[in-house]
Amino acid sequence: MTSILSGLSAAQIAALSTAQIAGLTAADIAVMTTGQAAALTTAEVAALSVSAVGAFSVAQIAALTQAQIAALAAQQVAAIGAASVSGLTAKQMGWLSAGQISGFTNKQVPKLSTAQIAAVSAAAFSGLSATALASLTAAQTAAVTAAQIRGMSKSLFQAIQVNALSTSALAAVNGAYLSAAQIASMTWATVGKLSADQFKAGVAGVFHTLSTDQVGGVAAAQIALVPTTEIAALTTAQIAVLTPAQVQTLSASQLSAMNATQFGALRLWLLSTTQIAGLTATEIAALTTAQISTLTLAQIAALSTRQIALFTTAQDAGFLVAQLSVAQLLALKCGLSGLTKTQVAQLSAAQIGGLSAATLSAVATTFLASLNASQIGQISAAAFSELSATLLNGLTAAQIGGITQAQTQALTATQVSGLSTAKLFSLNTSWFGAKQAAGLTASQIAAMSVAQFDALCGRNLAALSAAAIKAITLDQLKSLTAIQDGQFTAGQLAAMSANQFAIVMRQDNPILAEAKSFGADGVLTYDETLKILQDVAAGGVTADEFGALKTLADQMGVTGVYKTSAYVDQIFDDVVLGNSANASWHGGGAIAQALGDMTAGTSELQANRLIGKWFLGTDLPGTDLSAVGTNLKSTYVACTLPLFGANGPQWSDINQGYVGDCYLMAALAETALQHPDTIKNMIKANGNGTYSVDFIVNGKDDYVTVNADLAMMPSGYAWQNGSKQTFAHNTTNMWSQLIEKAYVQLVEQKGVTPGMTLNINGNAYADIAGGWSNALTAVTGQACDIYRVGPGDPTAALMTTMQNAFNAGEEIMVGTTSLNLSGNLVENHMYFVSGVDAAKGLVQMVNPWGQASASASLSMKFWEPIAALANNYAAVFVTEGKPAH
At residue 695, what are phi and psi to the nearest 5 degrees?
Answer: -100, 165
Residues of the chain with pLDDT > 90: what percent?
34
Nearest to 701 by CA among 683, 677, 719: 683
Dihedral through CA 287, CA 290, CA 292, CA 294, nearest 10?
-130
- Measured CA to CA, the distance from residue 499 to residue 507 in angstroms comes to 16
* 852: pLDDT strictly greater than 70: no
pLDDT, averaged across the chain: 87
Alpha-helix runs per DSSP H in 412-465: 413-418, 421-426, 434-437, 442-446, 450-457
Taking the alpha carbons at both ends of the chain, their separation in whole angstroms is 115
pTM > 0.75: yes or no: no
The most distant pair of C-alpha atoms in the chain lies apart, rounded to whole Å, by 158
**pLDDT at residue 646 greater than cutoff 80:** yes
pLDDT for 569: 96
**Which amino acid does the sequence have at 878?**
V
Whether pLDDT at 882 is above 50: yes
Picking from 517, 701, 688, the residue whose alpha carbon sits closest to that of residue 612 is: 688
Low-confidence winner among 73-77, 528-532, 864-868 (lowest mean pLDDT): 73-77
Q: Would you tell me how many other CB atoms lie within 10 Å of the CB of residue 529?
A: 27
Question: Once rounded to an integer, what is the mean pLDDT over residues 440-462?
Answer: 86
pLDDT tens, residue by residue, 589-640? 878 899 999 999 999 999 999 999 999 999 999 998 888 878 888 999 999 9
- pLDDT tens across 99-134, in order? 888 888 888 888 888 888 888 988 888 888 888 888
Indicate whether 758 pLDDT > 60.
no
Is the confidence at residue 689, as pLDDT, over 90? yes
Q: What is the pLDDT of residue 507?
A: 44
Spatial strand order of the sheet with 875-879 comes to 784-788, 875-879, 812-815, 830-837, 842-846, 861-865
Any bridge partners for residue 710, and if so which?
A: 637
pLDDT attached to residue 830: 97
Residue 396 has pLDDT above 90, yes or no: no
Query: Please, are residues 639 and 737 in contact by the beta-carbon 8 Å criterion?
Result: yes
The torsion of the CA quartet 764, 765, 770, 771, rounded to 10 degrees, works out to 80
Please compute the mean of the pLDDT values over residues 23-44 and round it to a whole number.
Answer: 88
For residue 636, list its beta bridge partners: 711
Per-residue pLDDT reduced to its tens digit, 320-371? 777 777 777 777 777 777 777 777 777 777 777 777 777 776 665 667 777 8
Cross-strand bridge partners of residue 695: 702
Q: What is the mean pLDDT of residues 487-508?
A: 71
The C-alpha torsion from 608 through 611 and 616 to 617, rounded to 10°, is 100
- pLDDT band at residue 157 under the 50/70/90 scheme: confident
